[in-house]
Chain A
Amino acid sequence: MTTSFSETLKFECESGNYHTFCPISCVAWLYQKIEDSFFLVIGTKTCGYFLQNALGVMIFAEPRYAMAELEESDISAQLNDYKELKRLCLQIKQDRNPSVIVWIGTCTTEIIKMDLEGMAPKIEAEIGIPIVVARANGLDYAFTQGEDTVLSAMAHRCLLSNQRKKFINSDNEVVLFGSVSNSIATELTLDLKKQGVKVSGWLPSQKYTNLPTLGEGVDVCGVHPFLSRTATTLMRRRKCRLIGAPFPIGPDGTRAWIEKICQVFDIEPTNLHDRENKVWGNLENYLKLIRGKSVFFMGDNLLEISLARFLIRCGMIIYEIGIPYMDRRFQSAELDLLEKTCHEMNVPLPRIVEKPDNYNQIQRIRELQPDICICGMAHANPLEARNISTKWSVEFTFAQIHGFTNAGNILELVTRPLRRNLLIFKD
């Protein structure tokens, strides 16, 4: 057993031999979020086959995305990339007339060094539709980081506010970044409004034509733990001020998130503790099921730290937090809160394993026998067959988990295997 009572969080790094979704999967939720967009994934049959299988029925619903499938003649440069891409983009313009075409660069475009960033402005000028280039490839990124690359590219397209704010904090405005469903965006906006903070815009907005205005002195705050590139772009290139807060996942996280934003604006938050306690009260039926139970995160979507922190507050014990990539600066407030939560709940600090090795993890799972293993679909059935209850991690990405009112959704997911066990394996 490697879980020891240490005072500070321990970080390890393994081989990176783990299962996760390819980052191009971000088109699945982003094309739905940005209603006037079209996503063109420039890659091979492998990419197409992944999207088609991962997205299931969405494929049949006339999605606003497509593959620009590279053929042998593209790879061997017998065809001119520029002409080919222009031809496809014109076709898309004619068929769908989107407000923006997002090119998703893949492993293949990286390896053959297709100059997407160079071609985009020229084609954009010729066809009259903005083209945003995001390199969401499996060489560099995992799953949700795809959204990070897209938003970071989009941050360059936000209007620049040329008025440098004279008195920082005078107007208590914040721009939030991270793609969430419209109802969650409304809820978070409203929660901040109650504290006197105005959300002046979202990156991404519902329409590409509605991107927020950014610039020096604009305060920005993230809602997802996987948006470190976007945060960096906002700070370095758009000169925004980043509010480093824990993420609004779970009632504890939501409160801490609001508190941190208020603190930046010198606002004394009101009613937050009551609000949080009320949520906890409503969750009691779920909490009864999970107190004292153990969890193992294999790691594939970068939500792991925030989810683990919430589950520890719920009374669970976390054996291991696997995570594809750990940006300790962007997640520092979240990591502090995790540490604090562990101390307050009097549980050992979990080990955090970056770039995990699934094979080794399976050996550890066998040894530790956690009550729930949060893992990818490749491992779920085999683990269930070995009597380890599992929850697919992907569901946390697609479910609504942010804000006060959605904490129940997280626990609905986490407790599902336990409730199933109670129902059908009673004897």
Chain B
Amino acid sequence: MKLAYWMYAGPAHIGTLRIASSFKNVHAIMHAPLGDDYFNVMRSMLERERDFTPVTASVVDRHVLARGSQQKVIENITRKDKEETPDLIVLTPTCTSSILQEDLNAFINVNSKSDVILADVNHYRVNELQAADRTLQQIVRYYIEKADKLDQLDLTLTKKPSVNIIGMLTLGFHNQHDCRELKRLLNGLGVTVNQVIPEGGSIHDLKHLPKAWLNIVPYREVGLMTAEYLKDRFNRPYIATTPMGVIETGTWIREIAQILQLQNYESYINQQTRFVSQAAWFARSIDCQNLTGKKAVVFGDATHGASMTRILAREMGLRVSCSGTYCTHDADWFREQVQGFCDEVLITDDHTQVSDMIARLEPAAIFGTQMERHIGKRFDIPSGVISAPVHIQNFTLGYRPFLGYEGTNQIADLVYNSFTLGMEDKLLDMFGGHDSKEIIPKSTHSSIYKKVSHSFGGRQQNHGLTAALTPKLQLEWTFDAQEEIKKIPSFVREKVKSNVEKYANQNSIKIIDLDVMYAAKESFHAL
């Protein structure tokens, strides 16, 4: 058992439902107790979806426990088959059905017009993202094999170079905007899009996937299994580069161009980088200079976490103190991607560890998920949201891609707006800040931690937060020293304060006056 307050990735069935409801005319039937159809609320609310979410529950109740669910599941399948005539019904197991250990596979041989498959996911082994990746591959494989059996597979490539975009799905972070941006880029390169799956895709078209020359998997989390399958089975190449940021978008285009043997792509990259994207110019502009060396922390899914880390480090000249991901199943890949672009790497799905890391490093800005946004609020550190899980404000009505050249503009805005603006920063520095808030040690973000640290007799081995902000000795700040520290801009003040206290502790100093402060400054170069 694990004491948990919050989770980054949802349970497995959510991944399956996201794939199923992204396709057109596919219906999912969850084998779940009452109340587990919460997915419908999320889709309807977050995506502001106009249509009914094609997910129903085959409700597991006491009677089902007594009699088994076969009859009810079959009834529900045949009923949906008649009512909505979907092309495909995906029977979706949940944590409940996992432990009931019924042979759901035996229920899917129903006499129905629609195809019926059982999603092959285990609640206790995979999370939302892994389940989505698997289910997409499962559906693609099912229809390729079906077409093969009926001898309907046509493997001839399209006349013009074409690609499939794999992994765009409902409730994905800015997926719709990203998809539009990628299509625009491909169009500019003279490449046609054969299919986008699963979002808006039809399962009837899946058998035509092999007609594309190349498969594109923009996000690390969902689509790789499908691309691998198409490569193994039909020898179709794929690229898994995420075109996020100026450099990676360039790389992405070059990779496509090489495989498809396109001409003149360098001039296209050049023209887009200089005229569509403002990010390269922004990085040179005097504004961005003020961001040089500022400390940032990045946390998110593997794709966005890694891409953002590299953008901040090599395109904007920031210092990424820590880069992390909650995709613990993909830790090795992530480490490799951010190697050399950050000081340390954090792989965890426990948000309190992220919170402790942020408290310890005290960055000038945080780029993370909705959870990091709240951590930032608590610590008074500005933050930008770059990855799921997100809330409704990140399902924007306006055009906000993160990928491609327009994406670079959006990211530049996001980063720049997250920091205290340059001039304001200088003024704060010059006039010692305009906030008259009394400086007390920032209350730790959770009373739990205070108590924990006390109960451990001040060993403080596990929580960076308490280590950073709670002095070991009772330190006294003289009036002069207090006045002096008020002059330090608010966003670095805590850092300076904790450095001075660290210095005092190390040197067994109990009273902090101006002399101690300057000595600390010399020793840490922190002020």
Contact = CB atoms under 8 A, between A and B. Distances in A.
Nearest to B371: A60
Nearest to B75: A15
B180 interface: no
B100 A111 contact: yes
A162 interface: no
Contact of A94 (B40, B60, B455): B455
Interface in A221-271: none
Interface of A: 16-24, 42, 44-46, 48-50, 52-54, 56, 59-60, 62-63, 66-72, 74-75, 79, 84-85, 87-88, 91-92, 94-96, 107-108, 110-112, 137-143, 359, 362, 376-382, 385
Given A46-B94, A139-B61, A59 B6 contact: yes
B52 A362 contact: yes
Given A53-B42, A107-B96, A20 B34 contact: yes
Nearest to B454: A94
B4 A20 contact: no
Interface string B25-44: 00000001111111011101
A359 B56 contact: yes
B34 A142 contact: yes
Which of A46, A54, A142, A380 neighbours the largest number of chain B CB atoms within 10 Å of its CB?
A46
Contacts of A376: 41
Contacts of A87: 1
A378 B5 contact: no
A22 B94 CA distance: 15
A49 B5 CA distance: 10
Interface residues of B, number: 57
A397 B65 CA distance: 30
B2 A68 contact: yes
Nearest to B57: A17
B34 A138 contact: yes
Nearest to A68: B1
A106 to B, nearest CB: 9
The 10 closest A-B pairs by CB, nearest first: A22-B35, A138-B33, A378-B40, A385-B50, A72-B124, A44-B95, A45-B11, A84-B1, A138-B35, A60-B374
A417 to B, nearest CB: 16
B48 A381 contact: yes
Nearest to A65: B5
B10 interface: yes
A75 B56 CA distance: 26
Interface string B56-72: 11011110010000000
11 contacts: A16-B34, A16-B59, A44-B95, A45-B10, A46-B94, A68-B3, A71-B2, A75-B124, A85-B1, A359-B83, A381-B48
Contacts of B437: none
B3 A16 contact: no
A62 B36 contact: no
A23 B61 CA distance: 14
Given A19-B40, A378-B41, A382-B52, A69 B34 contact: no
A63 B374 CA distance: 14
Contacts, number: 168
B13 interface: yes
Given A381-B44, A382-B51, A22 B36 contact: yes
A178 B60 CA distance: 28
Given A20-B35, A68-B1, A139-B62, A49 B7 contact: yes
Contact of A56 (B35, B37, B94, B391): B391
B205 interface: no
Given A62-B447, A107-B96, 4 more contacts: A16-B59, A50-B36, A84-B1, A139-B34
Contacts of A378: 37, 40-41, 44, 52-53
B100 A71 contact: no
A360 B184 CA distance: 43
Contacts of B14: 49
Interface string B372-414: 0010000000000000000100000000000000000000000
A102 to B, nearest CB: 15
Contacts of B13: 46
B106 interface: no
A74 B35 contact: no
A32 to B, nearest CB: 16
Contact of A45 (B7, B45, B374): B7
B3 A66 contact: yes
B452 interface: yes
A50 B1 contact: no
B123 interface: yes
B11 A44 contact: yes
Contact of B3 (A59, A67, A382): A67
B3 A53 contact: no
A44 B446 CA distance: 24
Contacts of A380: 44
Contacts of A16: 34, 59, 61
Contacts of B57: 17
B525 interface: no
B451 A95 contact: yes
Contact of B4 (A54, A66, A385): A66
A379 B35 contact: no
Nearest to B391: A56
A54 B35 CA distance: 11
B448 interface: yes
Nearest to A16: B59
B32 to A, nearest CB: 8
A91 B4 CA distance: 12
Given A94-B451, A385-B51, A107 B41 contact: no
A244 B209 CA distance: 66
A107 B61 CA distance: 9
A74 B123 CA distance: 14
A381 B57 CA distance: 19
Given A49-B10, A96-B448, A108 B5 contact: no
B150 interface: no
B36 A138 contact: yes
Contacts of A381: 44-45, 48-50
A107 B123 CA distance: 14
Interface in B180-224: none
B108 to A, nearest CB: 19
Contact of B1 (A79, A110, A112): A79
B125 interface: yes
B375 to A, nearest CB: 9
Contacts of A62: 446-447
Nearest to A62: B446
A22 B38 contact: yes
B440 interface: no
Given A107-B33, A107-B60, A108-B95, A377 B41 contact: yes
Contacts of A69: 1-4
Contact of A140 (B1, B48, B62, B447): B62
Contacts of B36: 22, 46, 50, 138
B423 interface: no
A17 B76 CA distance: 10
B286 interface: no
A158 B10 CA distance: 39
A397 B495 CA distance: 45
A55 B301 CA distance: 23
Nearest to A74: B1
A247 B48 CA distance: 35
Nearest to B449: A95
B451 A382 contact: no
Given A20-B35, A382-B51, A111 B455 contact: no
Nearest to A97: B451
Given A45-B10, A48-B7, A21 B35 contact: yes
A71 B124 contact: yes
Contact of A95 (B76, B99, B124, B452): B452
Contacts of A59: 5-6
Contacts of A74: 1
Contact of B56 (A17, A72, A79): A17
B67 to A, nearest CB: 13
